[in-house]
């Protein structure tokens, strides 16, 4: 974004806040606070990003006023002619981006995309295989407190747990095959929320074929990398692909389902609507279309390459400061930091709190075989999509690692935290948000 366009966007944002302030000053004030927070902090939560003004605009537009239950050409309400065109563009761009034939852009979130796929491919009580949450899976991949574990039967394949193994803390594909051959699941799921290594989709497809299952790849975290060719694509191996449209894809918060199988596409469409959702969020679908269009541009590939380069640089710098990175490093946009190598008493909950006070926003996260509970954890999950959107480079990652080390080595002491906070603000001023 040029200086002039950034100035124009800031002026528009100010004008919109002024309008809201006159109508509802309480909400306007909180929105301004959040705008300031994002402008002056470094976002290291791997599942978050900063959208462009072009992606943001449709979400606050008149498109929010319309009910459009159904699909293009088959709506249950009148007045949908332009919404049909918007949704068709979004679907076409999604298919072009990922090399699929059919796209459903209506899911409100990644979890709802998974819910619809489960409903389309399985009956309640059917078995599916996935990686357990504590090893890097997702809530919607079989947690008992979630629909996936409450109405279906999850079985889990493991990571390599032996520290001396060459593939320590990476997926144990042989064990995955063994689990699937013993349980014969209807669906094999791959794709994770806290896994820093490349996923071998072809190997998972071979396992699924051998046990008679369908392969579903949830690429919510790596979708942007996949779209740019920086991570191998799940197509043509996966029967169905689900994803969010935010995170690395840098779109609005929402979900997406892709397939190249026409019969599965029909089942999925019925499962989304009327199966698990009513009216689609057309203002969000328009933003998805804009984001997909941005992702089709050549500069998006360069951005994703920088995301990975920054992640590797940050991981390497943290290792030099004495932190252990699970699996020894990262191939994608995120890393899991084992804090115990710095101090046995250092927890993810404390680290998250101290770093946020210093303007470095991240999230506590369990590490594989973590002895601590999820509200405490022994680790942090760090990601580089948002800071790369700001423009930070590999040299900045070395600086950032030093700040993280300083804050945590000082156990969040006020002097260290205050000094780092000032340095973070200075860096944010050098790399302003669009």
Secondary structure, 3-state, the chain:
CCHHHHHHHHHHHHHHHHHHHHHCHHHHHHHHHHHHHHHHCEECCCCCCCCCHHHHHHHCCHHHHCCCCEECCEECCCCCHHHHHHHHHHHHHHHHHHCCCEEECCCCCHHHHHHHHHHHHCCCCCEEEEECHHHCCCHHHCCCCCHHHHCCEEEEECEECCCCCCCECCECHHHHHHHHHHHCCCEEEECCCCCCCCCCHHHHHHHHHHHCCEEEEECCCCHHHHHCCCCCCCCCCCCEEEEECCHHHCCCCCEEEEECCHHHHHHHHHHHHHHHCCCCCHHHHHHHHHHHHHHCCHHHHHHHHHHHHHHHHHHHHHHHCCCEEHHHCCCCCEEEEEHHHCCCCCCHHHHHHHHHHCCEECEEECCCCCCCCCCCCCEEEEECHHHHHHCCCHHHHHHHHHHHHHHHHCCCCHHHHHHHHHHHHHHHHHCCCC
d(CA 413, CA 418): 9
User: Is 247 among the catalytic positions?
Assistant: yes
Full-model pTM: 0.96
Where are the domain boundaries for CATH 3.40.640.10 in the chain?
63-295
**pLDDT given for residue 63 in this prediction:** 97
Sequential pLDDT tens for the chain (434 residues): 555 566 666 777 888 899 999 999 999 999 999 999 999 999 999 999 999 999 999 999 999 999 999 999 999 999 999 999 999 999 999 999 999 999 999 999 999 999 999 999 999 999 999 998 889 999 999 999 999 999 999 999 999 999 999 999 999 999 999 999 999 999 999 999 999 999 999 999 999 999 999 999 999 999 999 999 999 999 999 999 999 999 999 999 999 999 999 999 999 999 999 999 999 999 999 999 999 999 999 999 999 999 999 999 999 999 999 999 999 999 999 999 999 999 999 999 999 999 999 999 999 999 998 999 999 999 999 999 999 999 999 999 999 999 999 999 999 999 999 999 999 999 999 999 98
| Integer angstrom CA distances of residue 161 from 97, 327, 382 | 36, 10, 22
Catalytic residue among 67, 151, 173, 431: 67
Tokens, residue 273: 């609507």
Catalytic residue among 35, 40, 48, 69: 69
The pLDDT of residue 1:
58
Q: Beta 240-244 vs 255-259: how paired, if at all? A: antiparallel
Classify residue 432 by burial, with Cβ atoms within 10 Å: 0-12, 13-18, 19+. Answer: middle
Selecting among 41, 244, 326, 347, the annotated active-site residue is 244
For the structural domain made of 305-430, what CATH number should be given? 3.90.1150.10
Count of CB atoms situated within 10 Å of the CB of 423: 16
Instruction: State the Cα–Cα distance between residues 132 and 109, nearest whole angstrom.
Output: 20
**Would you call 253 a catalytic residue per the annotation?**
yes
Of 218, 350, 356, 396, which is the active-site residue?
218
The answer to whether 288 is a known catalytic residue is no
Identify the CA nearest to 98 among candidates 254, 253, 222.
222
Structure token digits, residue 149: 């574990």
Catalytic residue among 75, 186, 247, 267: 247
Domain 63-295 CATH class label: alpha beta
Domain with CATH 3.90.1150.10 in the chain: 305-430
- Active site includes 244? yes
Catalytic residue among 186, 253, 342, 421: 253
């Amino acid at each position: 974004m040029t200086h002039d366009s950034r100035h124009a966007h800031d002026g528009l944002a100010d004008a919109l806040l002024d309008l809201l302030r006159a109508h509802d000053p309480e909400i306007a004030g909180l929105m301004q606070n959040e705008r300031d927070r994002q402008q002056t902090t470094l976002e290291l939560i791997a599942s978050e990003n900063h959208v462009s003004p072009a992606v943001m605009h449709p979400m606050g537009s008149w498109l929010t006023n319309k009910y459009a239950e159904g699909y293009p050409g088959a709506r249950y309400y009148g007045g949908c002619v332009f919404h049909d065109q918007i949704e068709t563009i979004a679907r076409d761009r999604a298919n072009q981006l990922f090399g699929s034939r059919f796209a459903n852009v209506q899911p409100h979130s990644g979890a709802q995309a998974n819910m619809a796929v489960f409903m389309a491919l399985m009956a309640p009580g059917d078995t599916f295989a996935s990686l357990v949450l504590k090893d890097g899976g997702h809530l919607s991949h079989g947690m008992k407190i979630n629909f996936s574990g409450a109405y279906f039967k999850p079985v889990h394949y493991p990571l390599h747990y032996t520290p001396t193994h060459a593939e320590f803390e990476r997926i144990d594909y042989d064990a995955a095959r063994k689990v699937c051959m013993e349980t014969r699941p209807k669906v094999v799921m791959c794709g994770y929320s806290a896994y820093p290594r490349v996923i071998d989709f072809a190997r998972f497809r071979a396992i699924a074929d051998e046990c008679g299952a369908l392969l579903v790849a949830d690429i919510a975290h790596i979708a942007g990398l996949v779209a740019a060719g920086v991570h191998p694509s799940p197509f043509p191996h996966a029967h169905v692909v689900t994803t969010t449209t935010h995170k690395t894809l840098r779109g609005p918060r929402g979900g997406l389902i892709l397939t190249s199988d026409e019969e599965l596409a029909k089942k999925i469409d019925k499962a989304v609507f009327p199966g698990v959702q009513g009216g689609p969020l057309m203002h969000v679908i328009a933003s998805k279309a804009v984001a997909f269009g941005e992702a089709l541009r050549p500069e998006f590939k360069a951005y994703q390459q920088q995301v990975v380069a920054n992640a590797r640089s940050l991981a390497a710098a943290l290792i030099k400061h004495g932190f252990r990175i699970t699996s020894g490093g990262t191939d994608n946009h995120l890393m899991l930091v084992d804090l115990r190598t710095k101090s046995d008493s250092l927890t993810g909950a404390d680290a998250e709190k101290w770093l946020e006070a210093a303007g470095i926003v991240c999230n506590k996260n369990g590490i594989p075989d973590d002895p601590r509970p999820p509200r405490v954890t022994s680790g942090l999950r760090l990601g580089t999509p948002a800071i790369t959107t700001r423009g930070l480079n590999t040299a900045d990652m070395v600086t950032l690692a030093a700040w993280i080390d300083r804050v945590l080595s000082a156990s969040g002491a006020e002097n260290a935290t205050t000094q780092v906070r000032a340095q973070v603000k200075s860096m944010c001023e050098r790399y302003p948000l669009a």
